[in-house]
Structure 1
């Protein structure tokens, strides 16, 4: 064992002659512990919210989505697309036509996003688990059905199984508006409300209407084109690997996005908030580490006689400085370890039993308690942050004040 580390360990755990130094040392450790617990719990809560958002979006978003970089639509019958369809990792290949349209129901009307999907759409996503009214279907005999978001249904006053159909209007592509008779410049389609879904994400609940793919093509004047291709992979498949393979097949003219990239703005906002919180709590940690300066300063004053003894035994300034540097570093390191352990225990208890609630009444929010998700990288970052800041806090009294206090007197 290194001699300076051995002496520092004895100083840390031995009883000091002045009780005030013991108290300050304990306060230093407790301050580091509390700040570390706050860092671990805060970062884990943000991870929990990211995980929650990902689970909600995964009920509607595909695992991979292919779109064109230039233009709105593309031909899904090209050799490259057919090659992707035949990949063994692809479980569900679904064509999509999506655009904005005017939706009318009785006397009410709104502009919504109409998403035309293939017949296998219910195999692509977990749309059935999001339904709050009706049954998901696209077509029955000669009747087309629409599955609408709960916000769209509320705005239109529509429910599943109503006899009155939705009226969908979209301008005809590549045609000028006939000012004498503007109605001839629009395509018109009809669809019965078959179901209402709720994902608790306004971007979908308040804007989306899911209809059969042929209806969407007729509405937006497409023949065989699609605006996107949505994919579900075989269970256990490496999504990143397949994403890279598809991107290499299609080339630079197409985007291949996973679920996080499809909702990049939402996840980026949570990530920015997470690291801003990390910086704020790091500043609080710096304030807590000022106790180390006071603790080491008083300890160095108390151990002047020990310093003389060490000098008489041949110790130089570097060894003595290293003793007190180790002392300060161990205060922060032990505080970090204790804080991380307690923080992880708190997160486990919160994940299992939901001790800290989001609201006083059950059902006020999507979930009743704060979600948590402990990640190894965050724990590592917290430990490194505490240790580095603790070392810097110990460096000042040792290198500036120690020059005077360790001066050998003949």
Structure 2
């Protein structure tokens, strides 16, 4: 066994009186453990919230979304698209046409983002999980239905089951507004309220209304054009593989996005919040690690007689320095391991028992307790960062000792 490590281990674990050095060493271990556990818990909670948001968007967003890079709409009835949409792994293809329109209900007038979808949209998305009221229907017999975002429904004062329909005004393309008769520049239609959905996102909840795509085409004067093609893949199919093949066939004029790219701003914001919080926790760790400097410095002072004895026995400066270097690393390692175990235990307790609640009122939010998802990559990052900071901190008192030994 390494002599330096053996002596350092004896200093740490041997029976000795409970003096100030022992207390400070214990505080150092506890400080590092608490900071490490906090980092693991905070990162896991952010993962949990990210999973909630991701799950909500995944219920609405397709596996792949094809849009045109220049312009707004495109006709996909071309040989290139016919070949691209026959790639192995594609299960469902849904048409989507998004345009701005004006909804009128009673005395309320609200500009909305009208999303026209084909019948395949029902098979592609899990709208039942997102519905707050009513049901998701596009058309029954000759009646068209719309599904409104929760904020939009509240602004309009509209709910499923109301007899009166919503009146839609859509601007005609390539038609100038005649001030003498402005109504002539708009196409008008009526639609019944089928349901109300919520994604807990203002962009969707307060602005979007889902309607049949044929109604949207009639209102805006389109024939077969779409703003996007939404694709659902078969289970266990590689999204990246299909995405690359579609991009190769369609060329540079079209953009093919997976779910993360479709919501890249939301995902980027969540990641920024997560790692900014991580940096704040690292600063807290730095404060906790200062105790390690104090305990190691005081240990060096306490062991002056031992240092002299080792020097008289022929111990080199490097051997003596390594003793206290290993001592600091052992304290750090015990704190890090204890913190990771404690953090994982707290995460598991929160995951299975929901000890920390979001609100005292059940059902006030989508979930009642803080969500937790533990990722091993985060645990490894926490271990690496805390280890690096702790090991570098130990070098300060050890270098001071080495300078004194050289004098």
| Fold match (TM-score > 0.5) | yes
Q: Which residue of 2 aligns with 1:191?
A: 191
Task: State the Cα distance separating 1:101 from its structure 2 match.
Answer: 0.7
Q: SS of the counterpart of 2:174?
A: coil
Matched, 1:365 2:365: yes
Please list, as runs of the form range in 1=range in 2, the aligned pairs for 1:68-217 lying within 5 A after superposition: 68-217=68-217
Q: Distance in 2 between matches of 1:399 and 1:229?
A: 64
Task: State the Cα distance separating 1:130 from its structure 2 match.
Answer: 2.1
Q: Distance in 2 between matches of 1:249 and 1:268?
A: 29
- Kept in 2, the 8 Å contact 1:59–1:199? The answer is no
Q: Distance in 1 between matches of 2:327 and 2:64?
A: 53
Q: SS of the counterpart of 1:392?
A: helix
TM-score normalised per structure 2: 0.95
Q: Which residue of 1 aligns with 2:288?
A: 288
Q: Which residue of 2 aligns with 1:38?
A: 38
- Kept in 2, the 8 Å contact 1:333–1:386? The answer is no
In structure 1, stretches of 5+ residues that fail to align are: none
Residue range with higher mean Cα deviation, 312-321 or 141-150: 312-321
Q: Which residue of 1 aligns with 2:225?
A: 225
Q: Which residue of 1 aligns with 2:242?
A: 242
Residue range with higher mean Cα deviation, 359-368 or 25-34: 359-368
Query: Deviation string for 1:120-169 (max 9, x for gaps)?
Result: 11101001222232222211222211111222222112222322222211
Q: Distance in 1 between matches of 2:294 and 2:377?
A: 32
Q: Which residue of 1 aligns with 2:259?
A: 259
Q: Which residue of 2 aligns with 1:28?
A: 28
Task: State the Cα distance separating 1:355 from its structure 2 match.
Answer: 0.2
Q: Distance in 1 between matches of 2:267 and 2:372?
A: 16
Task: State the Cα distance separating 1:385 from its structure 2 match.
Answer: 1.1
Task: State the Cα distance separating 1:5 from its structure 2 match.
Answer: 2.1
- Kept in 1, the 8 Å contact 2:317–2:402? The answer is no
Task: State the Cα distance separating 1:17 from its structure 2 match.
Answer: 5.4
Query: Deviation string for 1:301-333 (max 9, x for gaps)?
Result: 222233233334443222221221111112111
Matched, 1:336 2:347: no
- Kept in 2, the 8 Å contact 1:122–1:128? The answer is no
TM-score normalised per structure 1: 0.95
Equivalenced residue count is 407
Q: Distance in 1 between matches of 2:200 and 2:279?
A: 30
- Kept in 2, the 8 Å contact 1:97–1:115? The answer is yes
Please list, as runs of the form range in 1=range in 2, the aligned pairs for 1:326-405 lying within 5 A after superposition: 326-404=326-404
Q: SS of the counterpart of 1:92?
A: strand
Q: SS of the counterpart of 2:252?
A: coil
Q: SS of the counterpart of 2:211?
A: strand
Matched, 1:318 2:289: no
Q: Distance in 1 between matches of 2:115 and 2:387?
A: 52
Task: State the Cα distance separating 1:103 from its structure 2 match.
Answer: 0.7
Query: Deviation string for 1:6-46 (max 9, x for gaps)?
Result: 22222221234561111111011001011111111111111
Q: Distance in 2 between matches of 1:201 and 1:18?
A: 57
Q: Distance in 1 between matches of 2:232 and 2:57?
A: 14
Q: Distance in 2 between matches of 1:95 and 1:186?
A: 24
Matched, 1:276 2:276: yes
CA RMSD of aligned residues (A): 1.7
- Kept in 2, the 8 Å contact 1:40–1:379? The answer is yes
Q: Which residue of 2 aligns with 1:55?
A: 55
Task: State the Cα distance separating 1:201 from its structure 2 match.
Answer: 2.5
Q: Distance in 2 between matches of 1:290 and 1:28?
A: 8
Task: State the Cα distance separating 1:48 from its structure 2 match.
Answer: 0.6
Residue range with higher mean Cα deviation, 138-147 or 349-358: 138-147
- Kept in 1, the 8 Å contact 2:103–2:168? The answer is yes
Query: Deviation string for 1:243-275 (max 9, x for gaps)?
Result: 233233323322222222222222222211111
